[in-house]
Structure 1
Amino acid sequence: MVAGSRKKSGAQHRRAFTSVEDGVHGACIPYASDRLLAKEIIGTGMREVYVSTPIEECEKRDPKGLYKLARTGTIVSFTGISAPYEPPLTPDLVLDTSTLDIRQCLRSLLTLLDQFNHEPVAS
């Protein structure tokens, strides 16, 4: 999901998430209520990873200048600038890419996935 996901109906959310069976699916879900809905649809197999990079760092890394356009009002409803982002309260993993390099992030993500693969399956 992307910014503006509030406009989707529950049925659209269910279609988006039920199509993901085995694998890794990345989504930017800015609202806590939408993340809760995703967890209800996906079930115990969902792991929440919060990439908590400060917005100033995101702006520095923005090759397309989208943050600048959002700050000037050219782009409206831009998550984190003109549209809200509700940080997760209890993510399974937090990655701050302003302090961790890509190898550290990948190592942490692979550890999380490895732990998940060794959990007993709920019946």
Structure 2
Amino acid sequence: MQLTLSHEAHDSNVVWCRLVTIAHNYFYVTNFFWMFGEGCYLHTAIVLTYSTDKLRKWMFICIGWCIPFPIIVAWAIGKLYYDNEKCWFGKKAGVYTDFIYQGPVILVLLVRTLADLTRPGL
């Protein structure tokens, strides 16, 4: 990440710098989806106390790794066509391509918060 912060790489908008930005944002989004998947897994494990063999672990793995992938691909395409400058860091006024990946993160946080607030026993 330090290499992408140099002014020369940042201003020249080289491909490797954009790839680092894509990887950074992908792993950023996976953090939130893994948190959501683990919460779903724990909730399901508690609800299905005596039948945890019915849990499909591949489904939770897919939530953590697979769902963020098309989100980041859509974001990268949006950045390429509408905001292709400065190594894809920062925002240009009036261009909201970053909400392509920030929106699902906010949605995951809202769903988890609402699930916690509506949980009996609070």
Indicate the structure with greater helix content. Answer: 2
Q: What's the TM-score once normalised by structure 1's chain length?
A: 0.25
Structure showing greater Rg = 2
Structure with the bigger RCO (C-alpha within 8 Å, sep 6+) is 2
Indicate the structure with greater strand content. Answer: 1
Q: What's the TM-score once normalised by structure 2's chain length?
A: 0.26
